[in-house]
Amino acid sequence: MKLKMICLLSIFVLGTMGVFAGNKTEKFKVYGNCGMCEKRIEKAAKAIDGVASADWNKGTKMMEVTFDETKTDLDKIQQAIAKAGHDTEGFEADAKTYDALPDCCHYDRKEVQEVKKVEPPHQH
Confidence band of 5 (pLDDT split at 50, 70, 90): low
- The predicted-structure confidence for 73-115, as pLDDT tens digits, reads as follows 999 999 999 999 999 999 999 999 999 999 999 999 876 555 5
CATH code at 23-117: 3.30.70.100
Strand intervals (E) in the chain: 23-29, 51-57, 62-68, 91-92, 116-117
44's CB contacts (< 8 A; 6+ apart) are 80, 81, 83, 84, 86
Domain chopping of the chain, boundaries: 23-117
Of 15, 50, 44, which Cα lies nearest the Cα of 63? 44
- The predicted-structure confidence for 105-116, as pLDDT tens digits, reads as follows 999 987 655 555
